[in-house]
Amino acid sequence: MQLYIVRHGIAIDREDPKCPPDPERYLTEEGIEKTKQVARGVAALGVTGDLFLTSPYVRAAQTAEIFASSLEYAKQKIRRTDLLLPGSEPSYLFRELAKQKQAPTVFLFGHAPQLDDLIATALGSKKHLTSLKKAGVAFVELKRLSPPIGELVWLATPKLLRRAGK
């Protein structure tokens, strides 16, 4: 299975007086624009997805929708899962993914540091090996899902992917 792990784009700052509760924090205008550029960069690599899973938090779901537009994935097919919420146990997500045999390429949209936990678990590490930036993307090739055995194929900063999309 190929996993594309995407951290949400730039969201409204927690210190902003207009900031809603954490689950409702949304992408800023800058966050939307930069995430669109990153998604175009991923699309320029010829990547497509069979399954999109997102945290139910607004900023992650918005990021998933932006990627869906660029990768020609139907937005109504995006599935929300609590397994991508901050603090979720990565092994539960891998067990769920093991049931998705018809989806060889999966996009996951969520939050730091939970996504870095997920990457570490996929690579068999107890410690973080990555630190995804907002709208950053990691590509992990999984040889086995549960327990996971994977290889980090690439990790790209948003800046690099925005350049690829130009």
pLDDT in tens, 88-100: 999 999 999 998 8
Q: Please tell me the predicted confidence (pLDDT) of residue 99.
A: 87
Which pLDDT score is estimated for 9? 98
Domain assignments of the chain as residue spans, ordered by start: 2-164
CATH superfamily of 2-164: Phosphoglycerate mutase-like (3.40.50.1240)
* Distance from the first to the final alpha carbon of the chain: 28
pLDDT tens for each residue of 32-66: 999 999 999 999 999 999 999 999 999 999 999 99
Distance CA 28, CA 62 (A): 11
**φ, ψ dihedrals at 129, nearest 5°:** -110, -10
Q: Is the pTM of this model over 0.95?
A: yes
Whether the CB-CB separation of 131 and 158 falls below 8 Å is answered with no
